[in-house]
Structures are given as C-alpha cells and as structure tokens.
C-alpha cells in the first residue's frame, strides 16, 4: 500500500518539472517561485488518493491535483498582500520580494493557469469537475472576506468562526477529494460522502492549527508560539474563551486583544494563562475530536473496503494529531 510520502514524492516530482516558459518573466518568475516553495501538498495528495480509492490511476487525476495546488498557491499570493504577511513557508512572500502589482497579477495568472489543468478532465466529467472547482473557488474567496471582516467585528461567534474556516480552508480539502473521486469513477453519492469527510477533517485541521499556534511545543512545532495572540487573531481559542469566561477574564481578554502595545512575552503568557484557567486547550482538543469523529462517520459511508480506506483515515488522523 502506498504511503502519504509516496504520493507526495510523485506529485512533487511532477511539480518540479513544471516550467512555464511564458513571457513576460516578471509574471512567471513569481509563479514558479511560489509553486516551488516547499509545501505539505496535502490537497493534491488527497486528490490522487481519492482517485485511487475508487480504482482510478493516479496519473488520470494528476492535472486536477495540479489545478488544486495551483489554485491554493494563487490564494496564498493574494492573501499575503491582504494580510501584509512578509513570509510564506519561511521565504519572502511574493508581494514583498517583488511588489503588490506583481503579486496581484501573477496570482491572477496562476488562477487562470489552474483552469488550464482543470480543462484536461475527460469531456464527460469536465462539467462536474468544473462545477465543483468554481463553487469551491468562490467559497474560498468568501471565507477570506469573512476572515478580513471579522478582524474589526467584535461580535463574532464560535459558529461564525467555524463557518469561516469551513469556507476558507475546509472546502478546498473536500473539493480535492471529490474531484479525485469522480475522476476515479466514484458514484456521486460516494463522492459526496468523501466531500463531507473532507469538510470535517478540514475544520479539525484548522482548529489544530489554532491550538498549535498557542499551545504547541516549540521544540517540536519548530516555530514560535503565540503568533495568533500577538496579532489579536480571533481564533476558536479566543472566541470559545469569550463565550465561557466570567466578566473579569472576558474584560481582560478584550483588553489584550484591542491593542498591540502590550509587552509581547507578557501578553502571550497572560492570555495563555486565562486560556488555561478556562481549560481552552482541553475544549479545543475535544472540538477537534468531535470533527474527527464526524469525518470518520462520513468515511464509513463510502462504499469501498475498509482496507482501502485505511490510508485516508491515517491521513485524517495525522492531520488532527500532528504536533507541527
């Protein structure tokens, strides 16, 4: 049985051979730069795995896996402009290394290039694949807009936050799976159940991201923790804390999150202490488990042998149990 690493290596090998020979170079250099930054490639791997799950050849799903990874990278290029993020995968983000105009335009081009890969689907299945791809692209944009809007909205609820990460993050995992499944020959019902699996595991994945950013073990995590706290990001942890905190803690949290002028280390420690007292780490882990269990239920409904599903289940487990 192939492991995650096998799919990863296969995809990475193909991606590294991609060389858009287009002109002008100002447009194509940032695209190649972005695509060749080291990434986890979870989405394209899911597409390849989903295709194989139903007896398809991974080669057949490769153009769609490429399309999805390219779309994902396009969103990263544009998100970094909006979030004013100087780094991406440890390297300079495109708008920093070049400039915002180049980032806008090379992002747009990458989006269009992604559709050139979508287009390679068999004529019979193209309308369905295109339908999922378009719907997902729109939802990801909606998710990003909610994320931006929530920055200045002090009444965001846990439910709204969850719906935001569903759009911004989870639907692309789902679409990766569903498109792969359809190319592999899945029935629409199976593809749909796999989609639900992706939604739940995608939400779990993002909640785990939130948890690690605050409570990760820095030695294992490999990054400084507390970034979300410093940038006043209204994650699940913060919103859940507001929901259950007493007046004093709530007031303190709101105060910490309404300015960036606190001493950094002190702010991180104080907020973490409030979180700890409210057992937010435990509550977040429970929420992750709840989504994980829902994803398992959706996967159970898919009509292929348990043995074949094992790999996907292993990835799902890894996505929520990882420590980095």
Contacts of 323 (CB under 8 A, 6+ apart): 212, 216, 217, 220, 221
Distance of closest approach, residue 258 Cβ to a copy of itself, in angstroms: 21
Size of the chain in residues: 324
Nearer to a copy of itself, 31 or 253 (CB): 31
Nearest-angstrom CA–CA distance, 167 and 139: 5
Distance of closest approach, residue 21 Cβ to a copy of itself, in angstroms: 12
Site string for a copy of itself, 139-178 (x = CB under 8 A): --xx-xxx-xx-----------------------------
Establish if 23 lies at the interface with a copy of itself (CB under 8 A): yes
Neighbours of 317 (CB within 10 A): 14
Site string for a copy of itself, 35-74 (x = CB under 8 A): ----------------------------------------
Establish if 26 lies at the interface with a copy of itself (CB under 8 A): yes
Q: What angle do CA 35, 41, 47 make, to 5 degrees?
A: 115
**Contacting a copy of itself within 87-126 (CB under 8 A):** 100-102, 104-105, 107-109, 111-113, 115-116, 119, 123-124, 126
| Three-state SS at 92 | strand
Contact predicate 295/206, CB 8 Å: no
Among 1, 19, 38, 127, binds a copy of itself (CB under 8 A): 127
Q: Which residue has the tokens 């910490």?
A: 256
What does the binding site for a copy of itself look like in residue numbers (CB under 8 A)?
A: 22-24, 26-27, 78, 81-82, 100-102, 104-105, 107-109, 111-113, 115-116, 119, 123-124, 126-127, 130-131, 133-135, 137-138, 141-142, 144-146, 148-149
């Amino acid at each position: 049985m192939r492991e995650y690493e096998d799919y990863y290596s296969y995809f990475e090998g193909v991606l590294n051979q991609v060389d858009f020979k287009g002109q002008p170079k100002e447009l194509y250099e940032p695209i190649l730069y972005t695509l060749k930054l080291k990434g986890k490639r979870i989405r394209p791997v899911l597409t390849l795995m989903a295709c194989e799950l139903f007896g398809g050849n991974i080669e057949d799903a490769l153009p769609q896996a490429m399309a999805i990874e390219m779309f994902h990278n396009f969103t990263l290029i544009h998100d970094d402009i909006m979030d004013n993020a100087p780094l991406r995968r440890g390297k300079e983000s495109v708008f920093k290394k070049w400039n915002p105009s180049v980032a806008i335009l090379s992002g747009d081009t990458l989006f269009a290039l992604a559709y050139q890969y979508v287009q390679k689907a068999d004529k019979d299945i193209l309308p369905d694949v295109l339908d999922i791809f378009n719907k997902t692209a729109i939802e990801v944009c909606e998710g990003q807009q909610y994320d931006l809007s929530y920055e200045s909205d002090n009444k965001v609820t846990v439910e709204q936050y969850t719906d935001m990460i569903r759009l911004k993050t989870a639907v692309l995992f789902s679409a990766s799976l569903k498109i792969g499944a359809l190319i592999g020959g899945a029935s629409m019902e199976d593809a749909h159940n796999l989609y639900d699996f992706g939604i739940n595991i995608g939400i779990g994945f993002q909640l785990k991201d939130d948890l690690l950013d605050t409570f990760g073990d820095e030695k294992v995590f490999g990054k400084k923790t507390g970034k979300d706290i410093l940038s006043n990001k209204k994650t699940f942890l913060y919103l859940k804390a507001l929901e259950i905190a007493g007046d004093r803690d709530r007031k303190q949290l709101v105060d910490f999150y309404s300015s960036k002028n606190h001493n950094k280390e002190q702010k991180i420690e104080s907020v973490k202490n409030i979180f700890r007292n409210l057992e937010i780490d435990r509550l977040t882990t429970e929420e992750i488990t709840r989504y994980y269990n829902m994803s398992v239920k959706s996967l159970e409904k898919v009509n292929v042998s348990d043995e074949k599903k094992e790999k996907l289940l292993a990835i799902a487990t890894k996505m929520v149990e990882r420590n980095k």
